[in-house]
Amino acid sequence: MLSPNTIQIIKSTVPVLEVHGTAITKKFYERLFTEHPELLNVFNHANQKQGKQQTALANAVYAAAQHIDRLEAILPVVKQIAHKHRSLGVKPEHYPIVGKNLLLAIKDVLGEAATDEIIGAWGEAYGVIADAFIGVEADMYQQSEQQPGGWSDFRAFRVARKVKESEVITSFYLAPEDGGALAGFKPGQYISIKLNIPGEANTHIRQYSLSDAPGKPYYRISVKREDAVDGRPEGKVSVYLHEQLKEGEAVWLSAPAGDFTLDTTGKDPLVLLSGGVGLTPMISMLNTQLANHPGRPVYFIHAARNGDVHAMREHVNELARKHGELSVHWIYQDPTAADREAGAFHKEGYIDLPWLSDIVRTKDAEFYFCGPTPFMRAVNGMLKEWGVSESNIHFEFFGPAANL
């Protein structure tokens, strides 16, 4: 338990963190990787370069300071981050390293304003927060290892099949190299894939949603190739997976993780909205719902640039032909001439509330969505404007969580 004085001091730093939070976390990562370069084998380098990780950590520290007197309020966020930590292999011994460098970064950025009293209070608070993470993650490691077909840390898999789904998305069917049982998962969860890319000094770990239903003898991930665009560098891992990883080769996977999961037993209509490669967890949810709990009204709504980059379209169309409860809708931002000739899409441009409400017809439904942050921000805004209950809105970020 934190003392009332410590809580008061932490609360008093909230306005400072609002202004200087990202500067502090940027300095923190600089210090961390200078002192402990081995941690570059854990962190996503692309998110570091783009500033996403620094912003996500700043938001987390800010939230912790705001709610330091009732940390139970941020327990859902703790669990969400803990899922990512478990899938990356974060261990208890990493927390003192992080704490030391975070306090030094606060001191570096704030200078004399970071008094010994403030640093002491934050050190005490960090200890309490770290203990919460360590406890939650210990349970997750134990559950991961003890479940049927489960394991701890990383396990060798081979690429059983590699299937091109569109011009930019390829699916990888991954089977355990030891031939053993495969841990189950909930639709919407993800795995971490660990790679040693030739010519790269560090191991690279990326998290990808599982894109098929549980219960298969493989895990499937469907990966978008991230090419260089608008000054953003190409995705080293996605390009390697597309261009160099071959069928029969080995990769290392963590057990499935994540709290963005579908309740397949619900009775209200189910609305699955996706943009771009955000359709991958939605396909897992769709396949699972229709196979195990048919009869529930399902709306599958996907936005893509055009048919050339639209993955798994025929698979979903085939499901719609077999399942009368499934209603499918495609939105193309920039349809090709072939798309127009084939009548391959239902709306040109972007999803908007009048169109969405006309399709679904009720706000008393369960809404799940995933895609690029601008897409998610737009969908979240529409649902709020429509008056959809907060408890019926579910979403997942690819990478560090941003603010919708």
Q: Is residue 184 part of an annotated ligand binding site?
A: no
Catalytic residue among 62, 95, 219, 368: 95
Torsion, Cα of 226, 402, 75, 26 (10° steps): 90
345 is in an annotated binding site: no
Biggest alpha carbon–alpha carbon distance for the chain:
70
Is 280 assigned a ligand-binding role in the annotation? yes
Yes or no: say if 222 and 215 are a contact pair by the CB < 8 Å rule.
no
**Is 383 marked as binding a ligand?**
no
Is 398 annotated as contributing to ligand binding? Answer: yes
Residue 395: enclosing H or E segment and its boundaries?
strand 393-396
Q: How far, in whole angstroms, is CA 295 from its chain's centroid?
A: 29
How far apart (Å, rounded) are the C-alpha atoms in residues 372 and 224? Answer: 12
- Compute the distance between CA of residue 172 and CA of residue 249 in angstroms, rounded to an integer: 11
* Residue 397 among known ligand-binding residues: yes
Query: Which residue matches tokens 């009720």?
Result: 362
Output the CA torsion sign for 384, 386, 391, 395.
negative
**Annotated binding residue 240:** no
* 126 annotated as belonging to a binding site for a ligand: no
User: Per the annotation, does 281 bind a ligand?
Assistant: yes
3-state secondary structure of 281: helix
Three-state secondary structure call for residue 154? strand
Strand segments, DSSP code E, in 177-249 are 190-195, 204-209, 219-224
Would the annotation count 305 as a binding residue? no
Confirm or deny that 209 is annotated as ligand binding: yes
The C-alpha R_g of the chain, in whole angstroms, comes to 22
* DSSP codes of every residue in 88-109: HT--TTHHHHHHHHHHHHHHHH
Cβ–Cβ under 8 Å, residues 332 and 308: no
Told to judge if 219 belongs to the known catalytic residues of this protein, a careful annotator would answer no
Does 277 appear as a known binding residue?
Answer: yes
Length of the chain: 404
95 catalytic per annotation: yes
Phi, psi angles (nearest 5°) of residue 251 = -140, 170
| Residue 190 among known ligand-binding residues | yes
Q: Which of 29, 62, 126, 137 is catalytic?
A: 137
Identify the CA nearest to 205 among candidates 246, 172, 240: 240
Residue 62 assigned as binding residue: no
As given in the structure block, the two tokens for residue 148 are 């049927």
Nearest to 242 by CA among 307, 162, 308, 161: 162
Q: Which residues are annotated as a binding site for heme b?
A: 85
Q: Which residues are annotated as a binding site?
A: 85, 190, 206-209, 276-281, 397-400
Q: Which residues are annotated as a binding site for NADP(+)?
A: 276-281
Q: Which residues are annotated as a binding site for FAD?
A: 190, 206-209, 397-400
Give the residue numbers marked as catalytic.
Answer: 95, 137
